[in-house]
Amino acid sequence: MSLYLKQQDTRSDLQEKVSKDLQERARQKAKQSDRPDGVDDSRFVEGTKQTTSLAWAWVLIGLAIIGIVIWIIISLLS
């Protein structure tokens, strides 16, 4: 059989104050911007290019370079 201990869920005044402050900050932060990144317009994308269809080739080249560097390090340590 288990022992049941009665616990009181009362908070101290400091805990209540901290909780209210955190809730108020969260409300203010939510009101500041609708968007999660905080950007209000799309001007930040001006002058950028869309990724080309050859992006996969650059990923393969990067992986090949990493593989070659690892192979050289292993061969030098052996």
pLDDT digits (tens, 9 = 90+) for 22-68: 999 988 877 765 665 666 677 777 888 888 888 899 999 999 999 99
Q: What is the pLDDT of residue 40?
A: 65
Mean pLDDT of 11-30: 86
* DSSP string for residues in 2-70: PPP--------HHHHHHHHHHHHHHHHHHHH-SSTT---SSGGGTT-----TTHHHHHHHHHHHHHHHH
Is 0.85 surpassed by the pTM of this model?
A: no
